[in-house]
């Protein structure tokens, strides 16, 4: 029997429009037990409407050591399938939710930890971060959506190579392969995430909705369907009062220009 904990496995802090959500199981390298997955799902589901962007990070030395291997020891085949389905539901609700999420990654980002990271919308790696898929070494397979999501990010050939050989990518390699969008010095990830989250929170809600929900669907549609879905989504977004106000602001020279270095 696991020892009961008094502290939550996932913590939430809200500051204005930004929520900071932290995996809070540092003594186990933020290994993702079913309890952590459940609390993560509940945390996102419970975000108030005033929250417009979120940051997800991990307490302690590592972002996440992946699946809690102690929970796999006695799992039957049927339970294994149910476990994956529960992860898919939790992760899909985050990926296709209302609130864009910026990940701050440090230390180990491995196995299910990398599957979780690949669910999020913007990824920052501190220089300490390293990325691995040790499923091959553990005698198991990806089971948190990674064969779909990580392969979409870096290609199935790289996923194959990482899983077969145990190749671990450092933060720079992860950046070069498209796995993360930014690399920061150690300890600077949260400040960078905050800046990005503030910009995201300032977007029109319908734009953020379409980026989270229409874009990934369009990517899976044949070209003719994708173009039609895009046209519908564009018309819906531009019909919103928030769009009309922002377009007027630009035309009246009240809006910020697009500048390099942002
Ligand atoms: C864990 C886990 C875990 C640590 N499940 N308990 N993931 C892995 O194969 C990664 C396994 N973990 C490691 O390789 C290392 O622990 C780390 C490189 C992540 C960190 O090393 P280190 O030296 O900083 O910490 P540690 O001393 O190894 O770990 C501290 C504690 O966390 C220790 O427990 P303790 O009771 O002995 O203190 C570890 O046993 C525990 N711990 N990682 C359970 N993963 C949906 S399918 C997804 C499939 C996968 O994710 S496969 C990849 C699984």
Is the CB of residue 141 below 6 angstroms from any atom belonging to ligand 1?
Answer: no
Which is catalytic among the residues 27, 135, 220, 245? 135
Share of the chain above pLDDT 90, in %: 95
Q: Within this chain, do residues 120 and 239 fall inside the same structural domain, yes or no?
A: no
CATH value at residue 212: 1.10.12.10
In angstroms, the CA 110 to CA 30 distance is 11
pLDDT per residue over 129-157, tens digit each?
999 999 999 999 999 999 999 999 999 99
Q: Within this chain, do residues 77 and 167 fall inside the same structural domain, yes or no?
A: yes
- Summarize the confidence of residues 218-231 as an average pLDDT: 98
Give the pLDDT score at 3: 52
Q: Is residue 207 part of a domain?
A: yes
Q: Within this chain, do residues 42 and 100 fall inside the same structural domain, yes or no?
A: yes
- Summarize the confidence of residues 252-261 as an average pLDDT: 92
Q: Is residue 261 part of a domain?
A: no
Residue 57 Cα to ligand 1 midpoint, Å, equals: 17
Given a cut of 80, is residue 206 above it in pLDDT? yes
Domain boundary among 179, 201, 223: 201
Range of 209's domain? 203-252
φ/ψ bin of 103: left (φ > 0), alpha (ψ from -120 to 50), beta (otherwise): beta
Give the pLDDT score at 261: 80
Which is catalytic among the residues 27, 79, 115, 220? 115
Residue 135 Cα to ligand 1 midpoint, Å, equals: 12
Per the CB < 8 A criterion, the answer to whether 180 and 171 are in contact is yes
Is the CB of residue 65 below 6 angstroms from any atom belonging to ligand 1?
Answer: yes
Give the pLDDT score at 255: 94
Residue 29 Cα to ligand 1 midpoint, Å, equals: 6
Given a cut of 90, is residue 190 above it in pLDDT? yes
Is the CB of residue 146 below 6 angstroms from any atom belonging to ligand 1?
Answer: no
Q: Within this chain, do residues 114 and 186 fall inside the same structural domain, yes or no?
A: yes
Based on the residue annotation, tell me whether 89 is a catalytic residue of this protein: no
In angstroms, the CA 17 to CA 49 distance is 9
Q: Within this chain, do residues 245 and 119 fall inside the same structural domain, yes or no?
A: no
Q: Which residues lie below 8 Å from residue 184, measured CB to CB, with a gap of 6+? A: 124, 125, 126, 127, 192
Q: Is residue 262 part of a domain?
A: no
Given a cut of 70, is residue 1 above it in pLDDT? no
Continuous H helices in the chain:
34-45, 77-95, 112-119, 135-138, 146-154, 156-165, 171-176, 189-201, 205-219, 223-238, 241-251
DSSP SS3 for 188: coil
Q: Within this chain, do residues 63 and 97 fall inside the same structural domain, yes or no?
A: yes
Which strands form 169-170's sheet, in the order they lie side by side? 108-110, 130-132, 169-170
Per the CB < 8 A criterion, the answer to whether 125 and 113 are in contact is no
DSSP string over 55-104: EEEESSS-SB--B-GGGTTT--HHHHHHHHHHHHHHHHHHHTSSS-EEEE
Is the CB of residue 69 below 6 angstroms from any atom belonging to ligand 1?
Answer: yes
Closest-CA residue to 16 (of 192, 200, 181, 187) = 200
Q: Within this chain, do residues 53 and 144 fall inside the same structural domain, yes or no?
A: yes
Q: Within this chain, do residues 137 and 80 fall inside the same structural domain, yes or no?
A: yes
Work out whether the CA dihedral 252, 258, 261, 262 comes out positive or negative.
positive
In angstroms, the CA 119 to CA 139 distance is 24
Ligand 1: residue of 2, 27, 31, 87 to mutate (most ligand atoms within 8 A of CB) is: 31
Q: Within this chain, do residues 45 and 143 fall inside the same structural domain, yes or no?
A: yes
Per the CB < 8 A criterion, the answer to whether 144 and 109 are in contact is no
Residue 150 Cα to ligand 1 midpoint, Å, equals: 20
In angstroms, the CA 11 to CA 158 distance is 33
pLDDT per residue over 72-85, tens digit each?
888 999 999 999 99
Q: Is residue 185 part of a domain?
A: yes
Q: Are strands 108-110 and 122-126 parallel, antiparallel or unpaired?
A: unpaired
Given a cut of 90, is residue 2 above it in pLDDT? no
Based on the residue annotation, tell me whether 79 is a catalytic residue of this protein: no
Residue 211: pLDDT band (50, 70, 90) is very high
Q: Is residue 195 part of a domain?
A: yes
Residue 60 Cα to ligand 1 midpoint, Å, equals: 13
Residue 4: pLDDT band (50, 70, 90) is low
Q: Within this chain, do residues 171 and 76 fall inside the same structural domain, yes or no?
A: yes
Q: Is residue 4 part of a domain?
A: no
Q: Within this chain, do residues 132 and 121 fall inside the same structural domain, yes or no?
A: yes
In angstroms, the CA 89 to CA 87 distance is 5
Per the CB < 8 A criterion, the answer to whether 120 and 101 are in contact is yes
Q: Is residue 260 part of a domain?
A: no
Closest ligand 1 atom number to CA of residue 135: 52
- Summarize the confidence of residues 158-175 as an average pLDDT: 97
Q: Is residue 154 part of a domain?
A: yes
Instruction: Write the residue with the smallest CA distance to atom 34 of ligand 1.
Output: 28
Domain boundary among 201, 222, 241: 201
Closest ligand 1 atom number to CA of residue 115: 48
pLDDT per residue over 35-63, tens digit each?
999 999 999 999 999 999 999 999 999 99
CATH value at residue 160: 3.90.226.10
Look at the chain and report how many structural domains it folds into.
2
pTM: 0.96
Closest ligand 1 atom number to CA of residue 65: 19
Is the CB of residue 126 below 6 angstroms from any atom belonging to ligand 1?
Answer: no
Domain boundary among 201, 225, 240: 201
Q: Within this chain, do residues 65 and 133 fall inside the same structural domain, yes or no?
A: yes
């Amino acid at each position: 029997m696991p020892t009961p904990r008094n502290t939550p496995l996932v913590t939430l802090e809200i500051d204005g429009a930004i929520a900071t959500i932290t995996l809070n199981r540092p003594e186990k390298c933020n290994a993702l037990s079913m309890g952590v997955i459940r609390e993560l799902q509940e945390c996102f589901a419970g975000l108030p409407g005033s929250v417009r962007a979120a940051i997800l990070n991990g307490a302690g030395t590592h972002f996440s050591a992946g699946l809690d291997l102690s929970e796999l020891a006695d799992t039957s085949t049927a339970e294994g399938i149910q476990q994956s389905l529960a992860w898919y539901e939790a992760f899909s609700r985050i990926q296709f939710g209302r609130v864009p999420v910026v990940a701050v990654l440090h230390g180990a980002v491995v196995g299910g930890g990398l599957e979780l990271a690949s669910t999020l919308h913007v990824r920052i790696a501190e220089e300490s971060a390293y990325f691995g898929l040790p499923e091959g070494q553990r005698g198991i397979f990806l089971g948190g959506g990674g064969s779909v999501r990580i392969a979409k990010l870096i290609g199935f050939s790289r996923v194959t190579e990482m899983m077969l050989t145990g190749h671990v990518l450092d933060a720079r390699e992860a950046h070069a392969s498209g796995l993360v969008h930014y690399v920061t010095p150690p300890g600077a990830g949260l400040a960078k995430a905050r800046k990005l989250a503030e910009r995201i929170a300032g977007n029109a809600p319908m734009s953020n909705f379409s980026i989270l929900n229409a874009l990934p669907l369009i990517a899976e549609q044949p070209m003719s369907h994708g173009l039609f879905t895009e046209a519908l989504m564009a018309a819906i977004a531009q019909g919103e009062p928030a769009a009309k106000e922002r377009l007027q602001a630009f035309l009246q020279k009240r809006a910020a220009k697009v500048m390099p270095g942002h």
